[in-house]
Structure 1
Amino acid sequence: MVFTETWLNDNIPDNAIELEGRTVFRADRTAEDSGKTKGGGLCIYVNNTWCTDVVRIGSHCSADLEYLMIKCRPFYLPREFTSTVITAVYVPPDANARLAMEELQAAISKQLTAHPEGAFIVAGDFNHSNLKTVLPRFHQHVSCPTRGDNILDLVYTNITEAYKALPLPHLGQSDHLSLFLLPKYTPLIRRVKPTVRTVKVWPEGAVSGTGHSFSKQTGVCLSPRPPLTPKWTSTHTPWTMTPLPITRPPFLASSLTSSIPTPCPTKRPTSSFPSPARPLFTFSPKSTNPALPADPLSLRVRAPSN
């Protein structure tokens, strides 16, 4: 609930205006800032069943403008919004409307930068001023007269069709009607239609067939993996490391080669999966190209036969 022209001062404590189940935030008019000894003042009540995470983030009092700003993180908030910033505003009848709106625009723009995905609600008695002159992207939701035939109490938000304002009887000795804001906003998750997507999956046996096609085109022998079992077991690579016979390099001197013993191949552990019949690459100490000398180590590559 937002109240304007509360006429509160330092002589009235908070417990004198407390309402059960609600937290009160107030900004009283001061004679030093406004130049006036009475009148003015703002007050906001926050329902504790709606939100308890509330922070006062700003207030201002001058001869042209009074505002009180709080930031709320309600228990429920549409996911497209991160917070709700509520600003209570009072512009005196004799105020400079241009200066008042420039001051208010600077304060709101600062919070828009700090909370770009926040929901902003600006409500109060604007008298002869108009917030849309400085914030044209905000929307005004009050269309009924609030004092006589004039619409003086306005509600602005940065959300299209956020509320519908309904007039209620005035409170106490106030000459302004009260306004009840009925939510009209539809969350984004309800406005966006669900998207249907088709996902293609590989049929059974397609992986082994693809490997067979690659083996024909590239001449590389691919051994398909066995089908995986639905158990949490570790699997080994399907290739087997086959040791090749090791020969002494021919480019070493005979005096050195005599001192190097011929290593004996050791038996290495192999996996249980089938292995290629012959290695793809073998080393030969002799060259098959007559243009090259016979001593250098040459590499012969042999592709496995189908």
Structure 2
Amino acid sequence: MGNIQGLYPKSNKSKVSFLKELTLEEDPMFIALTETHLATNVKDSEIGITNYTLYRADREGRSHGGVMVYLRHDLAAHTKTLLSHSNGVIELLALHITNINLIIVNCYRPPQCNLESFSKALEKLNEVLETTPHAMTDVIICGDFNFPFICWPDGRSSGGTLEDQAQAKLLLEIADKLFLNQHIMEPTRRNNILDLFFTNNQESVSNCRSEKTIFSDHNIVYINTTYIKSKTPQDSMTPPNMTPFASFNFFSQKVDWDQLQQDLRKIDWKLALQGSDPNTTLNTLLRILLEVCTAYVPRKSNKKDRRYSIPRDRKILMRKRANLNLKLVNSTNETQRLIISSKIEDIEQKIKHSHEEQRRTEEHQAIENIRHNPKFFYSYCKKFLKTKSQIGPLVTEQDTITDAPKETCQMLAHQYNSVFSIPKTQPSSTRRPRT
């Protein structure tokens, strides 16, 4: 979790890529971000992460602000949005993961916030939380609250304006009411604890650390919890397009499109497909297309599909970064800590440069292919314009989740059959004559 200080700014679009690779390395349950600076002109497809569902509450009426949560797909299948709120000053997002009975609240309260706006936002949150049995429901409230004058862990106020102290009191009253404890004890921006993490299940949190990063002026906060691990690990997820055609390189300049189209036009499709049941028709169609593609489309190289893996150079850098962060946590020597922090910053600069260089290369390739292979260009552009909706995981009648292809098909077929009805035909006497 943390304040991202603009998730997708024009000046630095490598933040999303960095988060994607963190999810591949860490497989977090969720990522909570504040100050996303998003608006309707930024599509979900531009900031999406594979195997995670995106929930966002953008600031309304003004720029900046905003909160969002990336939630792992296996949990999103059981999740309801309880609150998505912005009053132009405060943003709140509340999600209920029903299968583990956990409510996650993400909040952004800016500096110099007025009491009325914060009070009204907390009233909405109270309304949501009062509808759940708190004694049985786990609650996490996290976000950037900008209360540097609160001393933790006791929650005493030391400084701050009277209005800020009044707002801090409202937050602490909710914490006392729900038996929430705050777990972040290390500075999250310079020497201040601005980002907070409350929970009413103290045993669910086993570790909390704050790490500096070049991707924001706030630290990244890692929270280890005892909640369920992924039921659909990323390395076992079935990549899309696993058909016989996935082995063909349709982006190659060696594809003989003219001859391919001529061969397809010569086929008597009516004769080839007539008198067959749907499965036989589909198999015949695929067989013919496969034969034509085999003749005129080159195969892809036998390299492993790397769409879901981190390039080797960045994987090495990220491992070095993780090892240095571990040394930083365990080090008590201030001089040594400064040296380690400098090394971490240098590694993150290299990671950022690698992401930017990869993006430039992909954009250049797409532009170069506009004339002779427009399919390559449009496929590159389309991934930033449309979110790919994953089918599943689905919740079974036994309240378990499944992503098995056969079971998913059977569940969808059962659902469609249960709501299917024969269309009513219009009486012939009322039909209008054709013109």
TM-score, scaled relative to structure 2? 0.37
Structure 2: which 5+ residue stretches go unaligned?
A: 1-30, 148-166, 228-435
Letter aligned with residue 97 of structure 2: C
Residue 47 (str. 1) matches residue 72 (str. 2): yes
Would you say the 8 A contact 2:59–2:88 is kept in 1?
A: no
1:122 corresponds to which of 141, 150, 170? 141
Q: Residues 171 and 52 of structure 1: is their aligned pair in 2 closer, same or farther, counting only changes over 3 Å? A: farther
**Which structure: greater strand fraction?**
1
The answer for the alignment partner of 2:208 in structure 1 is 165
Structure 1: which 5+ residue stretches go unaligned?
A: 78-82, 186-306
Letter aligned with residue 103 of structure 2: V
Residue 21 (str. 1) matches residue 46 (str. 2): no
Deviation at 1:158, TM superposition (A): 1.7
Would you say the 8 A contact 1:84–1:119 is kept in 2?
A: yes
Superposed CA RMSD in Å reads 2.4
Secondary structure at 1:113's aligned position in 2? coil
The answer for the alignment partner of 1:224 in structure 2 is none
Deviation at 1:159, TM superposition (A): 2.0
2:112 corresponds to which of 94, 110, 122? 94
The answer for the alignment partner of 1:58 in structure 2 is 83
Would you say the 8 A contact 1:27–1:42 is kept in 2?
A: yes
Secondary structure at 2:175's aligned position in 1? coil
Equivalent-residue separation in structure 2 for 1:51 and 1:152 (angstroms)? 28
State the Cα deviation string for residues 230-284 of structure 1 (Å, max 9, x = none): xxxxxxxxxxxxxxxxxxxxxxxxxxxxxxxxxxxxxxxxxxxxxxxxxxxxxxx
Equivalent-residue separation in structure 2 for 1:139 and 1:72 (angstroms)? 20
The answer for the alignment partner of 2:172 in structure 1 is 132
Would you say the 8 A contact 1:5–1:40 is kept in 2?
A: yes
1:103 corresponds to which of 116, 121, 143? 121
State the Cα deviation string for residues 77-98 of structure 1 (Å, max 9, x = none): 4xxxxx1111110001010257
State the Cα deviation string for residues 193-251 of structure 1 (Å, max 9, x = none): xxxxxxxxxxxxxxxxxxxxxxxxxxxxxxxxxxxxxxxxxxxxxxxxxxxxxxxxxxx
Equivalent-residue separation in structure 1 for 2:191 and 2:143 (angstroms)? 17
Residue 6 (str. 1) matches residue 36 (str. 2): yes
Q: Structure 1 segments of 4 or more deviating over 4 A?
A: none
**Which structure: greater helix fraction?**
2
Deviation at 1:113, TM superposition (A): 3.2
Deviation at 1:72, TM superposition (A): 0.9
Letter aligned with residue 54 of structure 1: T
2:103 corresponds to which of 62, 68, 85? 85
Structure having greater relative contact order (Cα 8 Å, sep ≥ 6): 2
Equivalent-residue separation in structure 1 for 2:59 and 2:103 (angstroms)? 22
Q: Residues 171 and 122 of structure 1: is their aligned pair in 2 closer, same or farther, counting only changes over 3 Å? A: farther
The answer for the alignment partner of 1:219 in structure 2 is none
Would you say the 8 A contact 1:43–1:88 is kept in 2?
A: yes
Equivalent-residue separation in structure 2 for 1:98 and 1:184 (angstroms)? 37
Letter aligned with residue 22 of structure 1: Y
Deviation at 1:3, TM superposition (A): 0.5
Q: Residues 99 and 27 of structure 1: is their aligned pair in 2 closer, same or farther, counting only changes over 3 Å? A: closer
Question: What does 1:58-77 align with in structure 2 at a 5 Å threshold?
Answer: 58-74=83-99, 77=100
Letter aligned with residue 123 of structure 1: C
Deviation at 1:52, TM superposition (A): 1.9
Deviation at 1:7, TM superposition (A): 0.6
Residue 147 (str. 1) matches residue 189 (str. 2): yes
The answer for the alignment partner of 1:297 in structure 2 is none
Higher Rg: 1
